[in-house]
Homo-oligomer: A and B are copies of this chain.
């Protein structure tokens, strides 16, 4: 997929509407208009630019941005195939009224489009392919030396992660005593920022990294604000904050793998109030023609995720995924997807937020999974000063990643509509789709056996099921011989007709997968319900 098309429009750009060499791009790719315009004054402040795109059905107003050196750009990612036309709008004669057209072709086989909320608690790509989130966090990876960034990409290429959380503005860290960030988001040195002038180089670099993540099939959950001060970005006033949001959205929003995380640990940023966040989140919703996913991540004070601009819950709470009964609880509160983006990190440090064993990291993913939620990974082994994966990228040091790859495979074989609690507030260890698919996770407990028993929803007598034993740490799936056939047990449950029980291994981290066998003897197929 060629995701960016560079088109230069000069004086005669209007003519291209009639030209035969009409440019093409894939659906969900990035179409870019590039224009020459004024350099004098402060173009970031003085020049307004956008374009109206239409394919005859949809009409989309897309904001542009100033890319420095007299260059202006507008980026648009079309969501449908066919012929598109556009007309630019600006308060400068040399930028306004430019006409153009292009053709959008069907997406290539690896292009599924942007991710959106699906079936209330879950995610899917625009082409309906389920997106089963296995996230990781690499806060400052784009601020490290280039060779380290390349290593991070190689690590990601071999890792199970399909979403990365990353900061858009640098965080001061001990590592930077040796390696100062090579670029800054604003054009003047630290502590004398001119917040009215962005540094296009800084963002071009981030865009390139986001494109590389996209090529690896990884969503970029970019964090607009963070509380890790000292560089002074946290002192921006309201007008500067809004200008920053608009600039970020105009520059990055067309990339199909972008998610907006308004802030990391929003409540630790003492220079903003809840009302500020609500205003900036609403702005994010209003000024983004591509309507990428939007969230806000907490420190210790939970945000009101009922706000209409929030598409899904991004939660820091490690305790919540220590067992599935807790993990489920935030789902029903907001009736949105819950992503436990920070659950403490696998690692060895003096901090208790970075001391999980690999087993505990994997356990938390499984707890979140059977509760119908999603979890994020971190890796915090201080191999050299503070240069951990979760701060700077590089190599993974922990033991969880292969087990998360195993979990991802299990999830990719799970129903497209997502795993939901089967018998909410009663059997907290079981998620799935009633009558089709069940995943029961025993966690740290090691029961010697499991009696085949299904909650009544979706079940009737005589249904046949396949049972498998999953070892979440040793990464094995062991089928139990013979089918299980349902028989009514009492007002609530069905058992196997011959009351079969399944012997379980004696180690922790065991799960049971139960899948319905259809009339044809094959595993029953589950389909995406309509949204």
Contacts and interface: CB of A to CB of B under 8 A. Distances in A.
A425 B319 CA distance: 5
Interface string A331-357: 011000000000000000010100000
Nearest to A428: B319
Interface string A293-312: 00000001110101000000
Interface in A306-333: 306, 317-320, 322-323, 325-326, 329-330, 332-333
A325 B332 CA distance: 17
A182 B329 CA distance: 42
Please report whether the interface of chain A is mostly helix, strand, loop or mixed according to DSSP. loop
Copies of the polypeptide in the assembly: 2
A383 interface: no
Contacts of A300: 424-425
A491 interface: yes
A352 B426 contact: yes
A350 B491 contact: yes
A329 to B, nearest CB: 5
A492 interface: yes
Nearest to A491: B350
A229 to B, nearest CB: 22
Interface string A489-509: 001100000000000000000
Contact of A302 (B302, B317, B323, B333): B333
Nearest to A492: B352
Interface in A401-449: 424-426, 428
A240 B306 CA distance: 30
Interface in A472-525: 491-492
Given A304-B306, A306-B306, A333 B330 contact: yes
A307 to B, nearest CB: 10
A425 B302 CA distance: 12
A77 to B, nearest CB: 33
Interface residues of A, number: 25
A332 B426 contact: no
A158 to B, nearest CB: 33
Contacts of A325: 319, 322-323, 326
A335 to B, nearest CB: 8
Interface in A8-56: none
Given A330-B333, A332-B302, A318 B425 contact: yes
Interface string A253-292: 0000000000000000000000000000000000000000
A317 B300 CA distance: 24
Contact of A426 (B306, B319, B350, B424): B319
A193 to B, nearest CB: 34
Nearest to A427: B319
A374 to B, nearest CB: 17
Contacts of A302: 332-333
Given A319-B428, A425-B319, A329 B326 contact: yes
A319 B323 CA distance: 12
Nearest to A331: B302
Nearest to A320: B329
A329 B332 CA distance: 12
A385 to B, nearest CB: 18
A333 B333 contact: yes
A63 to B, nearest CB: 32
Contact of A317 (B304, B306, B352, B425): B425
Contacts of A332: 301-302
A424 B316 CA distance: 12
A50 to B, nearest CB: 35
Contacts of A320: 329, 425
Contacts of A425: 300, 317-320
Contacts of A304: 306
Across chains A and B, which 4 residue pairs bring their CB atoms closest together, nearest first? A319-B425, A302-B332, A329-B329, A326-B326
Interface of A: 300-302, 304, 306, 317-320, 322-323, 325-326, 329-330, 332-333, 350, 352, 424-426, 428, 491-492
Given A302-B332, A319-B428, 8 more contacts: A301-B332, A302-B333, A304-B306, A317-B329, A318-B425, A319-B325, A326-B329, A329-B329
16 contacts: A300-B425, A304-B306, A306-B306, A318-B425, A319-B325, A319-B425, A319-B426, A319-B428, A320-B329, A320-B425, A322-B325, A323-B323, A323-B325, A326-B326, A330-B333, A352-B492
